[in-house]
């Protein structure tokens, strides 16, 4: 099938779409294209996930406006069908790949899922199909990994027998459908014609710019935008540590810094987590590993952000001294407010560090089954609390009751959720990350 024919099939919605990897990214994408009239086949290796989706139930637990209803409706209409079997992909005209792309302990891309997905796809890929990698990858991955696997397994030639592109996702848990439809996208094509067809496809679901580029540009844009965020957060964290040491309030400093033109300052906090920000900077850095480019800022920012939970432990120690047998209530285990996503969450590091020091962490999270429950019940018998995730529930805490339950009536706030005056009125001793201004006065 030529690209012109594929474009016509996109325009009249007769193209059959497949989405490989039905996680935080792939599932909402599959549902949106199904809603727009495409027949969509969703593939995942997790049978339980497939079963839930085919029952019309979203497997994503956090607050995700519109997603549950959308999945129920497209499954009910038969437009989205999920399976663990790659065979139905023999009919697919367009295949989106949305599998996880982690890095290993040495910060090197770990492409088990991507390789396996591409290999399985290659065994059933039909001539003329368009393959789009939506996963975030190390710049150079399309050319060095995805393209050779497909060409070797199929004997097809790119840009003649099949087409290849990338369209990195910009979603964020809690705003999946919003970001997918409202945020601009970059499509990278193996040639200009492929990029144009891809843009036509994405303009069906995206109500913002869809910019065309080549593979390497699109790969760099995605990893660079997340690296930018990591570096900016690291800057805010470093300023927070400086404020603490100098008896100042980073939140006041931030407010005033931002009055200077062009000086945006992100939020400092208890750490950075999720599937993306902790690894995308390493994906970018890895792309020049053998070139001699001195990559210095990216590792420094990573170091600052991954050690913020260590700083939280120091704040706890400053209050409790010896941590052995101390019970510490951890408020929030997900990495992001109102989400169930706990991948690489700073709370995981905090728990490990506290346990290593002999303390007993008690974890509460309203969105993660293992940690659900009443905050006040969990607080009973704990020495102090550490607020790690800005879940909405925590901004409505009964501070007086919490102060009464905690042996030391202390809360260490790693996310600037608790208002200092309200805490004072409630008799709760508030330790704020980045703020020692009240101690200094």
Ligand X SMILES: NC(=O)c1ccc[n+]([C@@H]2O[C@H](COP(=O)([O-])OP(=O)(O)OC[C@H]3O[C@@H](n4cnc5c(N)ncnc54)[C@H](O)[C@@H]3O)[C@@H](O)[C@H]2O)c1
Contact call for residue 42 and ligand X (CB under 6 A): no
Nearer to ligand X, 206 or 418 (CB): 206
Stretch that binds ligand X, among 39-47, 71-79, 396-404, 412-420 (CB under 6 A): 39-47
End-to-end CA distance of the chain: 74
> Shortest distance, CB of residue 346 to ligand X, whole angstroms?
16
Between vectors from CA 341 to CA 139 and to CA 111, what angle results, nearest 5°? 30
> Shortest distance, CB of residue 275 to ligand X, whole angstroms?
4
Nearer to ligand X, 100 or 383 (CB): 100
The DSSP output letter for 60 is: -
The dihedral formed by the CA atoms of 293, 277, 201 and 64, expressed in degrees to the nearest 10: 180
Do 189 and 132 form a contact (C-beta atoms < 8 A)?
no
The site that binds ligand X (CB under 6 A) totals a number of residues, namely 28
Do 400 and 381 form a contact (C-beta atoms < 8 A)?
no
Question: Segment 278-317, which members bind ligand X (CB under 6 A)?
Answer: none
Nearer to ligand X, 58 or 136 (CB): 136
Nearer to ligand X, 135 or 154 (CB): 135
Q: Both tokens of residue 413? A: 């706030």
Q: How many other C-beta atoms lie within 10 A of the C-beta of residue 246?
A: 11
Stretch that binds ligand X, among 110-118, 142-150, 211-219, 241-249 (CB under 6 A): 110-118
Site map 257..276 versus ligand X, x via CB under 6 A? ------------------xx
Question: Segment 113-172, which members bind ligand X (CB under 6 A)?
Answer: 113, 116-117, 120, 135-136, 169, 171-172
- The gap from C-alpha 245 to its chain's centroid, in whole angstroms, comes to 32
Stretch that binds ligand X, among 98-106, 319-327, 375-383, 410-418 (CB under 6 A): 98-106
- Minimal CB distance residue for ligand X: 23
> Shortest distance, CB of residue 274 to ligand X, whole angstroms?
6
Burial class for 118, CB neighbours closer than 10 Å (0-12, 13-18, 19+): buried
Nearer to ligand X, 20 or 399 (CB): 20
Cα–Cα distance measured from residue 437 to residue 431, given in angstroms and rounded to the nearest whole number: 11
Q: Both tokens of residue 295? A: 């990559």
Query: Binding ligand X by CB under 6 A: which of 7, 9, 36, 46?
Result: 46
Stretch that binds ligand X, among 41-49, 50-58, 376-384, 417-425 (CB under 6 A): 41-49
The DSSP output letter for 158 is: B
> Shortest distance, CB of residue 49 to ligand X, whole angstroms?
6
Helix 250-257 with 215-246: angle, nearest 10 deg: 130
Active-site annotation holder among 222, 279, 378, 405 = 222
> Shortest distance, CB of residue 283 to ligand X, whole angstroms?
8
Q: 3-class SS at 295?
A: coil
Q: In what order do the strands lie in the sheet with 410-413?
A: 360-364, 327-331, 384-387, 410-413, 429-432
Burial class for 45, CB neighbours closer than 10 Å (0-12, 13-18, 19+): middle
Active-site annotation holder among 158, 243, 276, 382 = 276
Stretch that binds ligand X, among 33-41, 96-104, 255-263, 394-402 (CB under 6 A): 96-104
> Shortest distance, CB of residue 98 to ligand X, whole angstroms?
5
Classify 436 in phi/psi space as left (phi over 0), alpha (psi -120 to 50) or beta: alpha
Token pair 């018998």 is found at 381
Question: Segment 8-37, which members bind ligand X (CB under 6 A)?
Answer: 20-26
Do 165 and 147 form a contact (C-beta atoms < 8 A)?
no
Site map 220..259 versus ligand X, x via CB under 6 A? ----------------------------------------
Write the DSSP assignment of 194-255 as a string of letters: HHHHHHHHHTTT-SS-EEEEEHHHHHHHHHHHHHHHHHHHHHHHHHHHHHHHHT-BHHHHHH
Site map 369..388 versus ligand X, x via CB under 6 A? --------------------
Active site (annotated) includes residue 167: no
- The gap from C-alpha 27 to its chain's centroid, in whole angstroms, comes to 14
Nearer to ligand X, 172 or 200 (CB): 172
> Shortest distance, CB of residue 85 to ligand X, whole angstroms?
10
Nearer to ligand X, 116 or 398 (CB): 116
> Shortest distance, CB of residue 76 to ligand X, whole angstroms?
22
Active site (annotated) includes residue 222: yes
Q: Which residues bind ligand X (CB under 6 A)?
A: 20-26, 43-46, 49, 98-101, 113, 116-117, 120, 135-136, 169, 171-173, 275-276
- Which are the catalytic amino acids? 222, 276
């Amino acid at each position: 099938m030529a690209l012109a024919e594929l474009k016509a099939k996109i325009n009249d919605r007769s193209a059959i779409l497949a989405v490989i990897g039905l996680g935080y990214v792939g599932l909402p994408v599959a549902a949106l294209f199904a809603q727009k009239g495409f027949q969509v086949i969703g593939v995942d290796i997790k049978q339980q996930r497939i079963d839930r989706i085919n029952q019309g139930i979203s497997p994503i637990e956090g607050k995700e406006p519109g997603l549950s209803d959308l999945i129920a409706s497209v499954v009910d209409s038969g437009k989205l069908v999920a399976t663990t079997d790659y065979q139905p992909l023999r009919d697919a005209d367009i295949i989106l790949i949305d599998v996880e792309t982690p890095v290993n302990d040495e910060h090197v891309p770990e492409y088990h899922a991507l390789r396996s997905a591409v290999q399985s796809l290659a065994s059933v890929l039909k001539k003329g199909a368009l393959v789009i990698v939506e996963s975030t990858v190390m710049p150079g991955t399309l050319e060095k990994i995805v393209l050779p696997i497909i060409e070797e397994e199929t004997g097809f030639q790119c840009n003649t027998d099949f087409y290849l592109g990338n369209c990195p996702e910009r979603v964020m848990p809690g705003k999946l459908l919003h970001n997918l439809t409202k945020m601009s996208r970059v499509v990278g094509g193996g040639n200009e014609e492929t990029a144009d067809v891809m843009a036509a496809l994405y303009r069906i679901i995206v109500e913002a710019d869809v910019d065309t580029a080549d593979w390497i540009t699109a790969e760099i844009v995605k990893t660079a935008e997340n690296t930018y965020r990591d570096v900016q957060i690291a800057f805010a964290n470093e300023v927070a540590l400086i404020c603490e040491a100098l008896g100042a309030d980073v939140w006041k400093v931030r407010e005033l810094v931002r009055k200077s033109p062009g000086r945006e300052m992100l939020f400092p906090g208890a750490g950075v987590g999720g599937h993306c920000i902790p690894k995308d900077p390493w994906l970018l850095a890895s792309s020049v590993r053998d070139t001699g480019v001195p990559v210095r800022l990216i590792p420094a920012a990573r170091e600052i952000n991954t050690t913020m939970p260590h700083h939280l432990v120091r704040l706890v120690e400053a209050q409790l001294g010896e941590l052995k047998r101390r019970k510490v209530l951890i408020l929030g285990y997900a990495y992001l407010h109102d989400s169930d996503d706990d991948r690489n969450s700073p709370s995981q590091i905090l728990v490990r560090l506290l346990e290593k020091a002999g303390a007993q962490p008690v974890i509460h999270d309203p969105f993660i089954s293992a940690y659900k429950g009443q905050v006040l019940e969990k607080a009973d018998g704990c020495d102090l609390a550490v607020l790690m995730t800005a879940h909405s529930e925590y901004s409505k805490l009964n501070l007086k009751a919490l102060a009464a339950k905690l042996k030391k009536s202390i809360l260490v706030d790693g996310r600037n959720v608790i208002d200092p005056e309200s805490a004072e009125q409630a008799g709760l001793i508030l330790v704020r990350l980045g703020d020692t201004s009240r101690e200094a006065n």
